[in-house]
Structure 1
Amino acid sequence: MRRAFLSFVLLATSCTFGDGVQPPSPSTAPEAATIAAGTAAVTTTAAATPADPATRAAALFTARSFLDALSAGEWNGAATMIVDAPEDLPETLAAWSESITLVDASYAIGFDYVTDELARVGASATLTPKGFQAWRFETALDLAFDGSWKVVWSPSILYPGLADGDRLVVEHDWAPRGAILARDGTALVRSVPIWSVGVVPGRIEDLDVVVAVLEEAAGIPGDTVRAEIAKPGVQADWFVPVGSLPTSATEAAATLSATPGILLREATERVSLSPGLAAHVVGAVGPITTERLDVLGPPYGPNDLVGVSGIEQSFERQLAGTPDARIVWLNRYGQTIETLLEATGTPPESITTTIDLTVQTAAERALEGISKRAAVVIVDTETSEVLASVSRPIDGFDRAFLGSYPPGSTFKIVTAAALLEEGMSPEDRVDCPAEVTLGGAHFRNAGGRDLGRITLATAFAESCNTTFTALAVQRLSNAILGSVAMAFGFETDPDAGLPAATPRYPEPVDTAELAASAMGQGRVLVTPLEQASIAAAVAAGGWLPPTVIVGETDRVRVPLDPGVASDLADLMLLVVTDGTAGNARVPGEVVRAKTGSAEYNDAGDTHAWIVGYWNHLAFAVIVEDGGSGGQTAAPIAAAIIQDLVG
C-alpha cells in the first residue's frame, strides 16, 4: 500500500508554557499553578487573590476572542492577541490547519482561574479534519496582563502536550487501485503487490556498495540511483524510490534489506493483460502534478500516484477510493508519540468498459505495420458501445477520441441523408461534371473525372464531389444540412466515459462554404469516435451517443427516418460492391461503407478515411496523410473483418 504524509512543525518560540500539562478541574481552584510568561515562571498559591469580576470578564473576553479567531482561520488576528508573538506565528497556525486538513473548528470555554496578572482558561475543542469524524479534546490557554490581557503562546494550545518541534502528521494508507475490466470481466489492467526499492541517504555507509548491490540484485542502474539522490531538496532521512522488485524475488529482497541505506516498502504497480492493449482507453498512472493536486485536493498529497490519462484519469476517484487515514503525533526526532485520530476510507472500485477483447485485438493487429499515424474505432451498432479503440503511435495522444479531422467524402452520408429527407431518391438522375463553380469557389472530382449524367446512387458510390456540392446549394440550406448534421451528433459534447473532442459543423457563412461542408471540407471536423457512431446510426435507424463504460443507460437515440436509413444502407453497400471501397470487400461478407480523402492543408494533402458497418459492428478508420481512403483505409477495415471472420 502507498502512504502519504501531511505535516506541520511547531516552531520554537521564546514564549512557551511548561510542557502542556492537563488543566485543573473546573470545580476547584488549584493549590498552586505555575504559569510561564516569556522566560519567567510565576507560581501562584492559594493565597493569591482571585480577580474582580471585571478583570475576570476581560481575561475571558480575550480568551474567547483568540479561540474565535482560531475557529475562523483568522491567523493574523489570533497572532495580535499573543504576547510577544513570533513573526511567523500566522504562518505556523495556517500550516497547522492545512496539515490536518481542518474544515471546521469550535471551542467552548470551560473552567477558568484568573488573578489580577495571570489567568488559565480551559476549553473543549471540536475539530473536524477533512475525511475524519469530529475530534474532541480538552485544551487550555494561559494569559498574562500587562496593561491588557494577552494569550501566552504555547504549541499545547493546539493539542495538549505538544512541544516545540513536534509535528502532527496525517498519514494515508491507500488500498490497491481497482481494476479496469473488459466487458467480459477480464482485467485489462490491475494492481499487483511489489516491493518499492529506495534508499535513505543518511543511512548509506558506502554509496559504491549500495549502487553495486542495487545493480546486481535488482537490475537498477547505478546512474539512476546517483541521480535520484543528487536531486535538489533531497533530505538525509527521506525514502528516495529508485526502482521496484517483485514480491516473489525473496532472495534479492533479503540481500537489499541487509544493505545499509537500502529500504524496501510495500507497494503496488499496474500490470496490463498485454502490453499496450487498449492503451489509450485504459490510460496510465503517474506522479500527481500541481494542477491535478489542486483539482483533486485532500486526501491527495504531492507524492501520490494518480491516473494521468484514459479511464485511469477519468475515474480516478472510483479506482482509488479513499485511503484509511490517521492523525499521528511525532516528536522532533520523527518518532511516533501517539495516534490521535483514525478514519476508515472507502474501498476502490473496478470499472467495467465496453471493450471486447476479440474485437480490440483484431483492430490492433490491423494497424500493425502501419507507419503513419492512425486510429480505429469500432462500436456496436445497436448500443453504440465502443468495442475497440486504437490510436497509433501508442505513445501519442488519443486520436480515436480526441483527434479532430475534416471528414472529407465520408460526410456525404450526412449530405445524402439530408437530400433523401428532402425527397430525392437514389435513382434520381444527377450530373457529375469534372468541375463546378459555386459561390465563386471551384470544386473538382478526384482525378478530374467527368461521369456525366448518372444516378444519385452511382454519384455516392463513386464519391462525386461536384454532384453533392451542387445538390447542397440547389436543394438544401444551411438550416437543413445543419439540422441533419446535429441529428448525427454534430455539436453534441461527448459523454463517452473518456475525454473526447466535440464534432463540429459550423454554420456556413456563404454559398461556397455550404458546398464545401457538403463534401466534408470547410470547417467541418469529426473524431473517429463520431464517425463510427454515424455508421452505427445508419445501421440502427438513429444516432445514439457512444460510450466506453458498461451500464450507461441515460443515452437517448435520435431517430432517423426508416426509409432514409434503408436507402443509406443500400448506398453504402454499393460503395463496397461497385464504388470506391472495393478494397473493403471480404468474401462471403456483406460490408457497407463510405470512403473519404479529406484535404487538411492548402497543398491538397489528404487523410484517408473509411467508415461503415458489418454485422453488428460499425467502424471508422483514419490514416493521417494516408492519401486515398479507398486505397489506404479500406484494406485496414477489410483486415479487421477478415480477422473476426477467422
Structure 2
Amino acid sequence: MKRTTAVVVLSSLLITAGCSDSKSGDGGKADPNDEKQASAQLVKQFADAWVKAWAPDGKPTDAAALTDNPTAFGKRLDDVDTAIVASTVTVVPQGDVQCSNDTTCTQELAVEAQLRGIGAMKWTSTATAVKVGADWKVKAAGDTIYPGLGDGTNYLKRVRTLPARASILDRHGAALTSNRPVVIVGVASGNVATPATYAAFTKNLDVDGAKLSKRAKAAPAGQFVDAITIRADQWEALRPTMGKLPGVLTMGGTQSLAATPTFARSLLGSMKLANEDTLKNAGPTASAQDQVGVNGLQYAFQQQLAGTPGGIVSLRDGKTKLTVKEIFTQKGAAGKPVKTTIDTKMQQAAEAALGSQKLHASLVAVQASTGEILAAANGPDITSYNRAFQGRYAPGSTFKTVTSGALLGAGLTTNSSLPCTDTINVFGKTFKNYDALAAYGAGTMQKAFNQSCNTAFISQHGKLPKDGMTKAAAMFGIGRDLELSIPAYGGKVPAPKDDVEEAASMIGQGTVTASPLAVALIGATVAHGTAMKPVLVPGKDAAGTAASPLPANTAAALRTFMRTTVTGGTAHALAQSGTVGAKTGTAEVVTNGKVGTNGWMVGYRGDVAFAVIVEGGESGGKAAGPIVKNFLARFK
C-alpha cells in the first residue's frame, strides 16, 4: 500500500534520448510502425508515469496501463515502492533505443529513489518495449523496476539503522543526557481496551483517556496506538496496576534523557515520536518512526545529536527468503555531542532551592565575567516551558538598579537627596510604595535603593531625557535579541510616550518587561562592570560584550548600593550568605482582573550573578529571598 507521509518532494527529470520527431499532422503520436520512435515515446511516457506512481499519494495505475500485464505490474511497482520506502523518484531514459527486430526494443532507465530516512539510492534498469497487436507496451517484468527481480518472486528488503544519539554535555564535558531504556505505552486499536483502561491512562499517566479512546477506535485493525513514552523504571512501578488491563500494549526502546525527569528539563528539552513539524526540523534523513527533539536543546540541535542513519537494501530470494546480494549500502554517521555552559552542581543547587516552592518560580545563574549561563531552573512542577528564559514580566524594583545607573549618568550622586513620601502624583497618576515600606522623608539615593522607595525614584523623573531609561537599560544588555540557541527574551524598555509611563518605567512597571535571564544580566553587569552577551552553547551563541562598560563611578556606586541592601536593606535575608550584593523587587501584575504581585531578587556573589522570580510572591524579600539563600548555601 502506498504511504501518504512525505518528507521531501523532488521534481522529476524526464529526458527522451534517441527519440525522433513525430510526423507532421499526426497529433504528436509516434508512428507505431517506426519501432524506434514508438518505443522511445512509450518509454518516456512510462518513466513519467513511474515518477507519478512513487510520488506522495501516488498510484501505479497509469504506469501499469502502459505494460502488457497491468494487474501484475501495478502491484509489483507498488510493492517495491513500499519495500524500500521511497518518498520520490526520478526516472530518466538513457542512450539510444536498441531494437532486436521490428516488435522488440529496449532502452535503459537511470533511476534515483529517495529512500525516506536514509538518502538517495541509484540504479539502472532496462525497459523492454514489445508490440502487442497495433500498440506498443512495456514488458511487465520485475527487471524493468530493478535488475534481478525478474518475473518470479524475488523481492527487495530494506533495513535502516540509527546511530546512538549523542549526549548534551555540561561545561566540564560530563553528560547531561544519555540513552536510557524507555517503554512506549499504548493500546490495541479498535474496541479491545475498556473504559477502565482509558481511566487508568488518565489517572496514572496524565494521558487524556477520552482522546486516546477515539484514536484507538479510528485506527486500522491490528495497530499499536501509542499514548506516552516513559522511563523503564516508571513502567515497572506501574506494571502491577496497568499491565493487566484490557488492551494495554507496550514496546521497549531507548531515548536520550537526563538522569531524572526534572533535571534541566526546560533547557535540555524532551523527545517524542516525530510529527509533521518536528520531522521537518529533523532533516531529510529523519523518519516518522523516529524519536526526535521537540523543544529545548534536543530540538535546536536535533540533526547534530542524531547523526545520520545508515541503511541496506538487499535483493532476496522469494522462496528461501535469503539474501541474494546487497544492492545498496549507506554507512551511518554518529551524532556529535553539544557542549553547554551549564554547571551540573549549580543546576542541581538551583533546582533544589526551588524544590519546596508551591508557586511557580524560576532561578537563573550566569557567570558575570563571560555571560555564560550556569543554571536555569523552573519549578515546582515538571515543565518544558522555560519561563526562566522566555517569561515576560515586569521586573519591578530590581529595575531600580538600571534607574540608579540612569540617574548617576544624569549627574546625580549617591548622596543626592531623594525624598521618600507615601505617594507621589505624576500628571494625575498616583504612585505608592509597596505596603511594607513606611515613608521616611529625606534621604539619599543609596537609602532609597536600600529601602526600595518607589516615590523617591519617581520624584527624579524630570532629571532624565525621554529615552533615558531605554538607553540606560541598553547599558545592562536589556532590550536586545539575546541570540541564544533556544528561545530567550531579552526584555523591552520602550521610550515612554508621556511622563506617567516614564515614572512607571523607573520602578520596573508600565511597559517595561524582562525575563529572569535578562534580569540576571543586570546583576552580572554590576558585578563585572560590562554587560556580556549570554551564552549557553559556546561557538553557537553570540558571545562578547553587549554594551560599553559602565562608567567606573557608576559601577562602584551600584556595587555599594547592592551590598548595603544586603547588610542593611530589603535583602537582609542574605546577610549570612557571604559577600553578596542584591536588590529585591515586588512587581504588580494584573491577572484575570485582579491585582497581585510577583516577588523578585537580583544579585551576585563573586563571579556568579543570579535572578529569582516567584509568581504571586508577596515581596522580593519574603518570597525570593529564601530561595536565593538556599541556592547560595549549596555552593561556594
Using the alignment, how far apart are the partners of 2:469 and 2:272 within structure 1?
Answer: 44
Distance 1:146 1:508, change over 3 A: farther
CA displacement 1:132-170 (0-9 Å, x = unmatched): 466222321425477765656666533242779997665
Using the alignment, how far apart are the partners of 2:38 and 2:611 within structure 1?
Answer: 78
Distance 1:334 1:282, change over 3 A: farther
Whether contact under 8 Å (1:319, 1:349) holds in the other structure is: yes
Partner of 1:608, secondary structure, is strand
Partner of 2:418, secondary structure, is strand
Match of 1:32 in 2: none
CA displacement 1:85-126 (0-9 Å, x = unmatched): 879979x7899499324475533135522765x443221414
Distance 1:539 1:454, change over 3 A: same
Using the alignment, how far apart are the partners of 2:598 and 2:228 within structure 1?
Answer: 44
Whether contact under 8 Å (1:105, 1:127) holds in the other structure is: yes
RMSD after superposition: 4.5
Partner of 2:285, secondary structure, is coil
Using the alignment, how far apart are the partners of 1:137 and 1:305 within structure 2?
Answer: 34
Are 2:119 and 1:129 aligned? Answer: no
Using the alignment, how far apart are the partners of 1:350 and 1:491 within structure 2?
Answer: 32
Using the alignment, how far apart are the partners of 1:435 and 1:167 within structure 2?
Answer: 85
Match of 1:42 in 2: none
- Counterpart residue type for residue 626 of structure 1: G
Match of 1:494 in 2: 482
Using the alignment, how far apart are the partners of 2:38 and 2:165 within structure 1?
Answer: 55
Find the partner of 2:588 among 599, 604, 618.
Answer: 599
Find the partner of 1:268 among 254, 258, 283.
Answer: 254
Using the alignment, how far apart are the partners of 1:340 and 1:168 within structure 2?
Answer: 9
CA displacement 1:558-577 (0-9 Å, x = unmatched): 22223222221111112212
Partner of 2:635, secondary structure, is helix
Using the alignment, how far apart are the partners of 1:350 and 1:509 within structure 2?
Answer: 48
Unaligned ranges ≥5, structure 2:
6-17, 19-30, 198-208, 234-246
CA displacement 1:169-188 (0-9 Å, x = unmatched): 65421122112222222222
Using the alignment, how far apart are the partners of 1:68 and 1:109 within structure 2?
Answer: 17
Whether contact under 8 Å (1:144, 1:152) holds in the other structure is: no
The range that moved more, 631-640 or 228-237, is: 228-237
Distance 1:102 1:399, change over 3 A: same
Find the partner of 1:357 among 344, 348, 361.
Answer: 344
Partner of 2:524, secondary structure, is helix
Are 2:556 and 1:570 aligned? Answer: no
- Counterpart residue type for residue 333 of structure 2: T
Match of 2:21 in 1: none
Match of 2:371 in 1: 384
Match of 1:215 in 2: none
CA displacement 1:63-103 (0-9 Å, x = unmatched): 2354367569997999768746879979x789949932447
Match of 1:159 in 2: 146
Normalization by structure 1: what TM-score? 0.75
- Counterpart residue type for residue 615 of structure 2: E
Match of 1:340 in 2: 327
Partner of 2:179, secondary structure, is strand
Are 2:625 and 1:625 aligned? Answer: no
Distance 1:406 1:267, change over 3 A: same
Using the alignment, how far apart are the partners of 1:242 and 1:600 within structure 2?
Answer: 36
Are 2:306 and 1:320 aligned? Answer: yes
Find the partner of 2:443 among 446, 454, 470.
Answer: 454
Find the partner of 1:463 among 452, 462, 476.
Answer: 452
Whether contact under 8 Å (2:98, 2:106) holds in the other structure is: yes
The range that moved more, 422-431 or 293-302, is: 293-302
1:335 CA displacement: 5.8
Distance 1:297 1:167, change over 3 A: farther
Using the alignment, how far apart are the partners of 1:262 and 1:332 within structure 2?
Answer: 35
The 5 A counterparts of 1:8-19 are none
Distance 1:156 1:478, change over 3 A: farther
1:200 CA displacement: 10
- Counterpart residue type for residue 569 of structure 1: R
Partner of 1:107, secondary structure, is strand
Match of 1:299 in 2: 285
Using the alignment, how far apart are the partners of 1:572 and 1:243 within structure 2?
Answer: 47
Find the partner of 1:369 among 324, 340, 356.
Answer: 356
Distance 1:279 1:266, change over 3 A: closer
Whether contact under 8 Å (1:7, 1:167) holds in the other structure is: no
The range that moved more, 157-166 or 475-484, is: 157-166
Percent of residue pairs bearing the same amino acid type:
29
The range that moved more, 123-132 or 366-375, is: 123-132
1:610 CA displacement: 0.1
Match of 1:400 in 2: 388
Using the alignment, how far apart are the partners of 2:308 and 2:412 within structure 1?
Answer: 59
Whether contact under 8 Å (1:68, 1:107) holds in the other structure is: no
Match of 2:86 in 1: 100
Are 2:168 and 1:180 aligned? Answer: yes
1:461 CA displacement: 1.4
Whether contact under 8 Å (2:47, 2:91) holds in the other structure is: no
- Counterpart residue type for residue 61 of structure 1: Q
1:476 CA displacement: 1.8
CA displacement 1:296-328 (0-9 Å, x = unmatched): 343222221112232222221122111112335
- Counterpart residue type for residue 413 of structure 1: T
CA displacement 1:594-614 (0-9 Å, x = unmatched): 111111115431000000001
CA displacement 1:396-424 (0-9 Å, x = unmatched): 32221222211011111112212222222
Whether contact under 8 Å (1:181, 1:189) holds in the other structure is: yes
Match of 1:37 in 2: none
Find the partner of 1:120 among 105, 108, 114.
Answer: 105
Whether contact under 8 Å (1:179, 1:190) holds in the other structure is: yes
The 5 A counterparts of 1:194-593 are 232-233=218-219, 236=222, 267-328=253-314, 339-396=326-383, 397-447=385-435, 449-472=438-461, 474-551=462-539, 554-557=542-545, 558-561=547-550, 562-586=552-576, 589-593=578-582
Match of 2:237 in 1: none
Using the alignment, how far apart are the partners of 2:420 and 2:248 within structure 1?
Answer: 76
Match of 2:43 in 1: 63
Distance 1:336 1:592, change over 3 A: farther
Distance 1:69 1:580, change over 3 A: same
Unaligned ranges ≥5, structure 1:
10-25, 27-50, 202-206, 212-222, 248-260
Distance 1:440 1:228, change over 3 A: closer
Using the alignment, how far apart are the partners of 1:514 and 1:163 within structure 2?
Answer: 83
- Counterpart residue type for residue 417 of structure 1: G
Distance 1:334 1:392, change over 3 A: farther
Using the alignment, how far apart are the partners of 1:328 and 1:524 within structure 2?
Answer: 63
Whether contact under 8 Å (1:139, 1:157) holds in the other structure is: yes
- Counterpart residue type for residue 523 of structure 2: A
Using the alignment, how far apart are the partners of 1:155 and 1:517 within structure 2?
Answer: 76
- Counterpart residue type for residue 418 of structure 1: A
Partner of 2:177, secondary structure, is strand
1:617 CA displacement: 0.8
CA displacement 1:582-632 (0-9 Å, x = unmatched): 112225x21111111111115431000000001111010111101110111
Distance 1:620 1:143, change over 3 A: farther
Using the alignment, how far apart are the partners of 2:266 and 2:518 within structure 1?
Answer: 17
Using the alignment, how far apart are the partners of 1:231 and 1:411 within structure 2?
Answer: 55
Aligned residues: 567
Whether contact under 8 Å (2:64, 2:74) holds in the other structure is: no
The range that moved more, 299-308 or 238-247, is: 238-247
